[in-house]
Structure formats: structure tokens, C-alpha cells
Structure 1
Amino acid sequence: MAVMANGLRLKTARDLFMACPAIARDMRTLPTEQPSIEFCRGLLAGRVPEEAITFCAYLLPDRAAVWWAHECLSHLSELLDGTDHELLAYVRDWVGEPDSPRHRAAVSQAEAAPPTTPGAWIALAAGWRDNGSVAGGSVAGAEAPSALQPFPAAHAVNAGVLAGLARVALADRFAVLSAFVEMGIQMAEVEALRQSADAYLQPP
């Protein structure tokens, strides 16, 4: 789902909740008519700042959200094991060439693993996004979609980033969380500008 921020397609938090009702399963704060970016920063300053991560995961278009999660976890590399690093490498390659059969196969194979680590959740998000972007909901030669597939890719992105944050020392966690949210907001604004430019260049 391509979601645009800051005055473009989905201007307000309520717009996002209406476009993607699944977000209500991942956060308790009710939406308002505030602009999406303003609402997100309000979540960061609120009682449950982790909900700003959730909001970013749903605000970004799926592929951008997966890349955002990859970048977040890359900043926590010393807290991840070798398997997570391998999974993130698959995700990086897939984001760069999402139509590559080789990268799709690698992500599909990674998706089959139980999502028990931050990297596994992000690989799952890429797999879910891939399954939803091709006819029939699956990639040729890939495993059947996960039983969790009714959730959008943003659900797995959110879970992966929060799982990574849970490994950060408590004294540092809010600063890291804030940096991740600001990165997500910047990416949302860049995506919005890019999609606006694409729409402008479309022939009438």
C-alpha cells in the first residue's frame, strides 16, 4: 500500500487508520485529524513512544518500510547475531532489485523461518510484501504464504524494529527510538515528494 505523508495522499492520522485498519491491532492510541507527521511526533512524546515506530511502519510504503527497518537494525549491528546479519543482507538485495528471481527466492526462503529475531521479522515483511505484489499472492517456486499472512507487511516491520530496540540498553533506548522515528519521518517525506513528482510527470 503506497501511503503518502505530509499533505499528499494520506494527510492525517485518521486517513491512515481508515486506509489501513490493521494498524489499530498494533497500537492503542486513537487517530486524530492531526497531520500524519505531527501525530507521529506526538506519539514519540507521549506515554508509549514505541507507538511512533508502529505509526512509521504503516505510514511508509511497504518497500520503503522494509528498507527503513533494515537501516534501523543496521545501526544495532553489534546486538544482532550472524543469522540476522545474513537475513538483513537478503533484505538489502531484495530492496535494491525486488523483481530479481534470485533475491525473491532468497527472501522467500528466509520468510519460511520462524520470526523469532529482529532480522527474521524484517525478512518476513519483505516476503509478505512480495507475496502481495504478484498475481496469486505468491512467487513462482516459493513456499505457500505464512499463516500470519493476513497481517500487512507493516506489522512485521513494526515487530522487527521493536524487537531490535528491546535489545538496546534501557538508558539509551529512547534516544535510539527517537532517531529511528526521525529517520522514518524523513523517509516518508522523501517518498511523498517522489510520488508527487511521479504523479506530476504522468501524461494527462
Structure 2
Amino acid sequence: MANGLRFKTARDLFMACPAVARDMGTLPTEQHSVAFCRDLLAGRVPEEAITFCAYLLPERAAVWWAHECLSHLTDLLHEADHELLAHVRDWVGEPDSPHHRATISTAAATPPTTPVGWIALAAGWRDNGSAMAPTMVSALQPFPAAHAVNAGVLAGLARVALADRFAVLSAFVEMGIQMAEIEALRQSANA
């Protein structure tokens, strides 16, 4: 199952997506991606495991993962974020729907000031900017969806009480790893 990951090793991911090096201080190794991610979680800066998951997952899956992470923090989100989170959920289910694209476009056209705002931006970027205002696209290039997913999940995590933060972080990372493995199975079944 894990052998089918789109990036077999951490170095593979860093080579394919150099932007990850701007979001992480840990250098890549030849270690298997899942093992590398779990070592990050156990390391000095466990938040880097969130970053690694954001880049490890395909973009649409990363947006869904972020949605799922933030859905577990609804008590810590602003009222407006609840509606936006529902729009992100709808977009993931039907990214080609003109209605969902228009909603994401509106959300992505404003600067992300909340965790869910970052996820909406990731959804807009995932569409290669097609769901975003042209001025926003030109201002963000080369802004990867993974960077926005990372920012959104980490911003949500920052709202969790310190005593609970590592447990929540660990749950988010494990969910990301599981999603990466499911995506690998889906890719191999479609091949």
C-alpha cells in the first residue's frame, strides 16, 4: 500500500516540489515518506509533519484533509468559518460545479485571515487559479495549494489549548498519512 505513494521517499517529494523546503527546516532523506513523516512528528518540530502531509497529498486530497482537520475544531472557529467550511466541503465533492467554483472564487479573492480562509485559498489555487480573481492569481504565483493547506491547518492547530495540542497534531498527521495511503491505493486501482 505505502509503496504506491506518489512520493516514495522524502527526497522524492522535495525534488518534485521544491517549495516544501521554504516551509520546513528539516532536510529530506532517502527515508520512506510515511516513516519520514512519523519521524518529523516525533522530532524537535512536530508541526513539520503537518507541512510534510500538506505537500505529500495530491492537492484536492490535501484540501479535503485540511477540511477534515478543521472540522474537528469547529468550537474554535469563527461563525463565518462554519459556512465557508461547508463551501469547501461542497467544492471537494464537486470541484467542477460552477456554483461551487463561484463560491470558492469569492472566498479566495479575499486575504486569508482565518484557518478556513487559507483552505478556501488552497481550493482556489488547486484549480490553477481558475476559481480566483485574476489579480489574486498574479499576486500569488507560484503559490502552491499545499502552502495554503499547511497555513490553514497550522493556524487551526494554534487555536488548540497547549495541553491538547500534541494529541490533536498527532491525530491530524495520522489522518494525513492514512489519506496518502488511500490515495495511493486509488491511483494503483485506476492504473
Q: Answer yes or no: same fold by TM over 0.5.
A: yes
Runs of 4+ displaced beyond 2 Å = none
Alignment of 1:40-189 (within 5 A): 40-130=37-127, 132=128, 137-139=129-131, 142-144=132-134, 145-146=136-137, 147-189=139-181
Q: CA deviation at 1:69?
A: 0.2
CA RMSD of aligned residues (A): 1.2
CA change 1:85–1:149 in 2 (3 A) is farther
Using the alignment, how far apart are the partners of 1:6 and 1:55 within structure 2?
15
**Which residue pairs with 1:192 in the alignment?**
184
Taking structure 2 as the reference length, what is the TM-score of the superposition? 0.95
Q: Provide the aligned length of Structure 1 versus Structure 2.
A: 188
Contact 1:66/1:126 (<8 A) preserved: yes
Runs of 5+ in structure 2 lacking a partner?
none
Q: CA deviation at 1:149?
A: 3.3
Q: Which AA in structure 2 matches 1:35? A: H
Q: CA deviation at 1:10?
A: 1.7
Using the alignment, how far apart are the partners of 1:63 and 1:149 within structure 2?
18
Q: CA deviation at 1:6?
A: 2.5
Deviations 1:159-187 (A, max 9, x none): 00000000000010000000000000000
Using the alignment, how far apart are the partners of 1:63 and 1:44 within structure 2?
23
CA change 1:149–1:85 in 2 (3 A) is farther
Using the alignment, how far apart are the partners of 2:40 and 2:140 within structure 1?
27
Contact 2:124/2:130 (<8 A) preserved: no
Using the alignment, how far apart are the partners of 1:86 and 1:149 within structure 2?
27
More helix by share: 2
Identical residues among aligned pairs (%): 81
| Residues 1:6 and 2:6 are matched in the alignment | no
Q: Which AA in structure 1 matches 2:158? A: A
Q: Which AA in structure 2 matches 1:19? A: A
Q: CA deviation at 1:62?
A: 0.2
Taking structure 1 as the reference length, what is the TM-score of the superposition? 0.89
Q: Which AA in structure 1 matches 2:170? A: S
Q: Secondary structure at the match of 2:140?
A: coil
Q: Secondary structure at the match of 2:96?
A: coil
**Which of 83-92 and 40-49 deviates more?**
83-92
Runs of 5+ in structure 1 lacking a partner?
200-204
Using the alignment, how far apart are the partners of 1:62 and 1:125 within structure 2?
8
